[in-house]
Structure 1
Amino acid sequence: MRTGMLALSLGLLCPIFLTALPSVGTLSVLAVLCLVCLWRRLFPLAFFLFGVCWSSLCAQSALDDRLARQLDGRTLWIEGRVVGLPEQGGQRVRFELQDAQSRRAELPRRLRLTWQDGPALNSGEHWRLAVNLKRPQGLLNPHAADAEAMLLARGIGGLGSVKDGVRTAPASGAWRDGIRQRLLATPANGREAALAALVLGDGAGLAREDWNVLQATGTVHLLVISGQHIGLLAGLVYGLVVGLFRLGWWPQRQPWLPWACGLAFAAALGYGVLAGFQVPVQRACIMLAVVLLWRLRFRHLGVAWPLLVALNGVLLFEPLAALLPGFWLSFGAVAVLVMVLGGRLGRWPIWTAWGRVQWFIAIGLLPPLLALGLPVSLSAPLANLVAVPWLSILVLPLALAGTLLLPLPLVGEGLLWLAGGLLGWLFDLLGWMAAWRPAWIPPALPLWSWLLVCLGAFLLLLPAGLPMRLLGWPLLLLAGFTPRAFVPPGQVDVWQLDVGQGQAFVLRTRDHTLLYDAGPARGDVDLGERVVVPTLLKLGIRRLDLMLISHAHADHAGGALAVQRGLPVGRVVAGEPDPSWPADACASGEAWVWNEVRFSLWQWQGADDSNQHSCVLKVEASGETLLLAGDIDRFAEQAWLQGFQAGPVDWLQAPHHGSRTSSSAAFLDVLRPRGVLVSRGRHNGFGHPSPLVMARYAARHIAVYDSAVLGAVHLRLGSFGSARGERERGKFWRDPT
């Protein structure tokens, strides 16, 4: 039976690795084969085929529930009910609308909407809204999280920005939102938002600095992932019953074990309802139910059995949960504990056992963290060694008790004030650890190197004394020694990053790296910090020889400071001076050679606005040429054509994101590029790229590589090959290009 359960889990996981879902005909054949296998008692194969069919059908249903293509970019009046906990961030409100309806079109069951300068919204309210709708899609860069996959897994069928709206019915049944408002209004030593995250799983109010501290110390799971809280509370209740029994204070006529298991699950289920019963909570409750049932009745089955049952229970209920990083990390952590602590915990002193638990989890979760492209916390074992008991024994009980006792004057408020103080001390300690050992963003590993790291982790998790165990250390250390991508002399590895309505190009020769523009920054959203720096690190780039900022507009220069904070920069050159960061002026005619690749700069001396001041970069590699033109307009283009560098190029960065004021016919006729790279945001307010410009490209048979369609675009200059977008890497949930 255990083999059958394993086969079922493999079948349920199989579709998420496919480039396209099986057709109806293929699924029909698989279903027939499944029945034949059942008849012939080939149960493992039958379970596997059933898992593939069920997971594929659920995935196809989720795809069918996405916003129709003909509605992408349209503005409609829709009606629906606000669900979950709306996120109030600055002047922006982000919330989810359930059961949205429109008289003019059929809509997905759930939409995620953003309302700039919108009013305060409460869960349970009904609204009539004018919404500019978009298909669920996000930025897509190499080795980064796939927002489209995560939206699909969470059942978000469409995105949108609200233009106007009116409340049609007040909130009903929105008790969680009421609790959140009460928690945020109750003084708690400045940690009101953190307590709301701890009690309700709502991290929207956490400051950016708090997020950075939690990520750097590997303790995010303690504060905002409610599945972790479920286990902590259940363990606390179970331990309380065991303690009363051992002290002789438990009623002798009542068997302690059934009561311990029942009360632990009841507490966990109640907390799950309080936390919104989202997918992580559902997963935790299923796992906890299986573990408690195993503890109560089926201990003879071994410790791996409940893990398999929980895994299949989660995947049967929500097959697309496997698209979420938290799924792999939570089950991975449990699997590590099952492997290393089964039958051995009782032989260790409590603090020795607790320290080894953190060490084992750090080693065991390294491979999934590398595979998922997530930061690795170097201080996580030490941070969790202190934070988990501090939070579970002191803060969480006080926070939950204070929340339940808020109707009592002073009692609930006093408990929350004390919990907030304890949480503040913990944040102070974690902040010190984060400064001592910041999070490490590892470079992306090739498959063979990652498999060796997995082998190293497995060897280190084996019991001490086994042969070859110490060989795990050199294999594990391969995670920090990634083979550098080989770029032959005379060639340039070029990435146009997907930074929305902005621009950032990474150019890497064999020994040098140049960044042309650093992505946008607007308000509290800095894509230089969120996208450019992590992508550089994941590409194995630890230093920039040159950062060239075309001009001072925020969509090109906004991320410059974040890049300089994130990694060393040898030299900065800018088309326009900026007082916030020093830079050399763009010197028209300056040229240099890196690894047999020639780089040269140009700037129009007659420029009279910021766009015209753009510093233009020309790159020549083995006879193939790339022109990065910044935001120059047709007048600057005419000046370029009169210079000595004018002539045909192979690749052109669309000037000014394809604005109608650029890419003039005369400019294109002289350059005659075979491909143009467009960096822009979907449905941007500027109308980029202009249909007129796109028509000019089409008339000259110029291939267009649009970041809004393709995600990040990669080409190897000097090889005379073609460019490829990240979205072209086959995944069944990605929109075809």
Structure 2
Amino acid sequence: MGCAVVILHAHQFKEKTSALFVYGESITLQGKVTDLYQPSNQGGQFTFSVHQINGNNLPVGLKPNIQVFDSQFSGERLPPQLGEYWQLHVAMKPITGRLNDAGFDSEQYYVANGWSGKAVIDPDSADNKKIKPSNSWRLWLHQKVASQAYEYPSFSYILALGFGDRSEIKPLQWQQLRDSGLSHLMAISGLHIGLAMLIGWWIGLVGRMVCSRFSFINYDFYFLLPLLTSGLLALFYAYLAGFSIPTQRALIMGGAFLLMKATRLHWSGWQILLYSLCLILTLDPFSILQASFWLSFFAIVTIYLSLWFINRIQYSWKQKLQSILMVQIGVFIGLSVLGVLVFGGISLVSPFVNVLVIPWVSLITVPLLFISLFATALMGVFGTAEYSLITWQWVDWSLKPVLFVLESSLGAWMMLPKAGALLFLLLGLSVIFYHFRWIFPIAILWLVSLCLLVFPVTPNPKWQIEILDVGQGLAVLIHQNGKSVLYDTGINWPQGSIAQSVIIPSLMTKGIDRLDGLIISHSDADHAGGRVAIEQALSPTWKRSSERIKGDLPCVQGQTWAWESLQFEALWPPKLVDRAYNPHSCVIKISDTDFSFLLTGDIDAISEVLIARQYPNLSAQAMLVPHHGSRTSSLISFIETVKPELAIASVAKNNQWHLPSQDVVERYRKKGISWLETGDTGQITISIYDKEWSVDQKRSNQYQPWYRQIVRKGLE
């Protein structure tokens, strides 16, 4: 039965995705905007439900949701808003994300959210027009609240708590939320829907007391009133959050609880959890691809286990507080397993911050939030919305202690390698086993884990080279003896960088929080864009570049230096420059007694000719293809001088520059050289052992989920 459900959903998703590309890449869509517009420095994006493609209606059940990116709506031209129907001329794109050992996986993210593709609006097309205005009450209320609360310091959190709109949360605020362990507060999910149900229950109890004065009211109504108000308020809150997938899961679990109460059945907490889990996975099996799914259910399981572990009635306030703290510690240990695997670390203050902030937000902020929402809605209907300003000031005041805690928690995040997840898992199991006095199994558990750590199943390489999948750019990590050197840092953008999203997480999963060395080939943004982020986060001991930069060691022809057991030799450029462009790229050969690798940056043909002339005996088993495989590089004479067995190009799939050039690819292949490119393979790892070396391709050498072929349109 379960397999049939998964196959049905997978087939439906495939059909939706295929329908988007039947008419080619440049198409005209008609459909409805289904979520709030998310502005950015480059324009914005929104979720779009496609109803027509090139005038052809799509059947019910096969209308795909996509992410639409635009750069045209600014100034006086309003962007598409929630609930509006639009006709848009777009360039349809398959989802081709980066794939590394760590970092964001956009392909998984799209599938988990039910998005079948992405589209970029053609800003010059006359076909772009609004067909029907919005009648969304959620949008109307969101705009009212935004206009009233935008001046408050907690404005971004008000929108997040009220509507699930996190677009106003700034990078520093996200860091504070992460470091404090309170990120979950700003994603409307089980906790928030549960609070709405609880408040609704209290309202129902008050209503029951009022109704009890009237004898003509039926007893069943008395009984059902708290259930009705609880369910309705939860439904209202989920609507304000756009019925996001986490709120849908919470509604299902809450609905199971209310159903049990209404039918007077006696289900245990574990039964409610399992029934809800079955229903959620039946309706949306792709939920398992979301980290929030595992975090939500894992949190509930750890709460149940913690309460079971306490296993005694608490009478005094002191005992109750101890129990609350025990539950928080239990949740901390349990969620730390997933936290290390998903986020690469843990918040050191999370148990203590949550035990203070969650009750405060639950008892003070959320009730005030609901009062303010209802006040804004009612007064907005009567044209007196300004009178609800005072209630939003109350909400802002209630969040001031939370803001103080967030600011005080900055820096409390500890990055951990994935092995840290095993440590927390062992700790949690040990506590459970100890409860049953199972001392011997605890000893066996720790002994086996220690043996696996000391005596690994597979031999460790002498050193490794990782060519990270960073899209159109470059970042190469060299590892030996638990230490690392980085060559180039990838690109950056206003909200972040490759350094923050890929390089730093990749190092942290290995337990490396500091770089021995940083080498910048040249100053172009796709190679040096993440330099500042790397220097701030990883404090490299030494830095080298071909540009005159204070604090940098020179990378110029003829220099050699040793690092661990490896030899670094700089082959280019001949001298330092004030600004390093492509021809001034720092070219380095890294060698040991068994293997050598050539890092080429973005050198051009002239640079290649001069290098080959000065180093006629230059050779390397593997090399980085110059300038991402551009026609301006990779001369046959240079290839014949290096004589590599393997050539690797760092490129984005389907990039706008159409790199690598097929002519360049053929030059290498005609020489019998193996060709790999990160856009196809994902991260490429070269492991060097005694007398041999191996290559691991993230997409090819490991099991890949079926959905990757669908969203990439068979590009793998």
TM-score by length of 1: 0.84
| Distance of aligned partners of 1:242 and 1:558 in 2 relative to their CA distance in 1, 3 Å threshold | same
Measured in 2, the distance between the counterparts of 1:625 and 1:104 equals 57
The offset of 1:251, in angstroms, is 3.0
Measured in 2, the distance between the counterparts of 1:459 and 1:196 equals 42
1:443 to 402, 417, 420: 417
Aligned residue type for 2:358: V
Aligned residue type for 2:416: P
Map of 2:200 onto structure 1: 237
Map of 1:177 onto structure 2: 139
Measured in 2, the distance between the counterparts of 1:514 and 1:484 equals 26
| Distance of aligned partners of 1:529 and 1:627 in 2 relative to their CA distance in 1, 3 Å threshold | same
2:258 to 292, 311, 322: 292
Map of 1:400 onto structure 2: 370
Task: Provide the secondary structure at the position in 1 that maps to 2:541.
Answer: coil
Map of 2:130 onto structure 1: 168
Map of 1:135 onto structure 2: 94
Matches within 5 A, 1:272-671: 272-297=238-263, 300-342=266-308, 344=311, 346-347=313-314, 349=317, 350-406=320-376, 407-408=378-379, 409=384, 410-435=386-411, 437=412, 439-445=413-419, 453-461=424-432, 466-468=437-439, 491-510=462-481, 512-578=483-549, 582-605=551-574, 610-644=581-615, 646-671=617-642
Map of 1:190 onto structure 2: 153
Structure 1, 661-670 or 279-288: larger mean CA deviation: 661-670
Map of 2:69 onto structure 1: 114
1:696 to 667, 679, 682: 667
Q: Deviation digits for residues 336-381 of structure 1, max 9, x if unmatched?
A: 1222214847426343332222111111112223343543222111
Contact 2:686–2:695 (CA<8 Å) still a contact in 1? yes
Contact 1:460–1:472 (CA<8 Å) still a contact in 2? no
Measured in 1, the distance between the counterparts of 2:669 and 2:165 equals 48
The offset of 1:629, in angstroms, is 0.4
Map of 1:27 onto structure 2: none
Aligned residue type for 1:366: S
The offset of 1:614, in angstroms, is 0.9
Q: Deviation digits for residues 381-418 of structure 1, max 9, x if unmatched?
A: 11211221121211112122212211423442211122
| Distance of aligned partners of 1:717 and 1:63 in 2 relative to their CA distance in 1, 3 Å threshold | farther
Aligned residue type for 1:329: L
Map of 2:10 onto structure 1: 59
1:251 aligns with 2:186: no
1:677 to 625, 648, 652: 648
Map of 2:116 onto structure 1: 157
Structure 1, 73-82 or 179-188: larger mean CA deviation: 73-82
Contact 2:546–2:576 (CA<8 Å) still a contact in 1? no
Measured in 2, the distance between the counterparts of 1:118 and 1:374 equals 37
1:733 aligns with 2:694: no
The offset of 1:428, in angstroms, is 2.2
Measured in 1, the distance between the counterparts of 2:250 and 2:616 equals 63
Measured in 1, the distance between the counterparts of 2:32 and 2:134 equals 10
Aligned residue type for 1:323: L
What count of residue pairs does the alignment treat as equivalent?
A: 678
Measured in 1, the distance between the counterparts of 2:263 and 2:204 equals 18
Measured in 1, the distance between the counterparts of 2:418 and 2:462 equals 21
| Distance of aligned partners of 1:442 and 1:327 in 2 relative to their CA distance in 1, 3 Å threshold | same
1:98 to 29, 49, 52: 49
Measured in 1, the distance between the counterparts of 2:100 and 2:131 equals 41
Aligned residue type for 2:571: W
1:263 aligns with 2:229: yes
The offset of 1:510, in angstroms, is 2.6
Measured in 1, the distance between the counterparts of 2:521 and 2:655 equals 21
Aligned residue type for 1:140: L
Q: Deviation digits for residues 436-479 of structure 1, max 9, x if unmatched?
A: x1x2232123xxx8566424313325785845499699969x89
The offset of 1:533, in angstroms, is 0.9
The offset of 1:334, in angstroms, is 0.9
| Distance of aligned partners of 1:492 and 1:465 in 2 relative to their CA distance in 1, 3 Å threshold | closer
Measured in 2, the distance between the counterparts of 1:202 and 1:129 equals 24
Task: Provide the secondary structure at the position in 1 that maps to 2:195.
Answer: helix
The offset of 1:567, in angstroms, is 2.1
Task: Provide the secondary structure at the position in 1 that maps to 2:394.
Answer: helix
Task: Provide the secondary structure at the position in 2 that maps to 1:376.
Answer: strand
The offset of 1:631, in angstroms, is 0.8
Map of 1:8 onto structure 2: none
Structure 1, 394-403 or 57-66: larger mean CA deviation: 57-66
Structure 2 unaligned blocks of 5 or more: none
| Distance of aligned partners of 1:399 and 1:174 in 2 relative to their CA distance in 1, 3 Å threshold | same
The offset of 1:222, in angstroms, is 1.0
Map of 2:28 onto structure 1: 77
Map of 2:181 onto structure 1: 218
Task: Provide the secondary structure at the position in 2 that maps to 1:98.
Answer: strand
The offset of 1:67, in angstroms, is 4.8
Contact 1:681–1:708 (CA<8 Å) still a contact in 2? yes
The offset of 1:198, in angstroms, is 0.7
The offset of 1:257, in angstroms, is 5.6
Contact 1:215–1:377 (CA<8 Å) still a contact in 2? yes
Measured in 2, the distance between the counterparts of 1:641 and 1:600 equals 15
Task: Provide the secondary structure at the position in 2 that maps to 1:130.
Answer: strand
| Distance of aligned partners of 1:451 and 1:552 in 2 relative to their CA distance in 1, 3 Å threshold | closer
Task: Provide the secondary structure at the position in 1 that maps to 2:14.
Answer: helix
Structure 1, 498-507 or 524-533: larger mean CA deviation: 524-533
The offset of 1:83, in angstroms, is 1.5
The offset of 1:670, in angstroms, is 1.9
Contact 1:72–1:134 (CA<8 Å) still a contact in 2? no
Task: Provide the secondary structure at the position in 2 that maps to 1:440.
Answer: strand
| Distance of aligned partners of 1:242 and 1:124 in 2 relative to their CA distance in 1, 3 Å threshold | closer
The offset of 1:226, in angstroms, is 3.4
Task: Provide the secondary structure at the position in 2 that maps to 1:79.
Answer: strand
Task: Provide the secondary structure at the position in 1 that maps to 2:292.
Answer: helix
Map of 1:41 onto structure 2: none
Contact 1:184–1:193 (CA<8 Å) still a contact in 2? no
Measured in 1, the distance between the counterparts of 2:84 and 2:300 equals 39
Contact 1:625–1:717 (CA<8 Å) still a contact in 2? no
TM-score by length of 2: 0.87
Task: Provide the secondary structure at the position in 2 that maps to 1:262.
Answer: helix
Percent identity of paired positions between Structure 1 and Structure 2: 25
| Distance of aligned partners of 1:249 and 1:104 in 2 relative to their CA distance in 1, 3 Å threshold | closer
| Distance of aligned partners of 1:211 and 1:486 in 2 relative to their CA distance in 1, 3 Å threshold | farther
| Distance of aligned partners of 1:210 and 1:402 in 2 relative to their CA distance in 1, 3 Å threshold | same
Measured in 2, the distance between the counterparts of 1:563 and 1:387 equals 33
Q: Deviation digits for residues 628-685 of structure 1, max 9, x if unmatched?
A: 1011111111111022374232211111111221112221122222221111223333
Map of 1:723 onto structure 2: 695
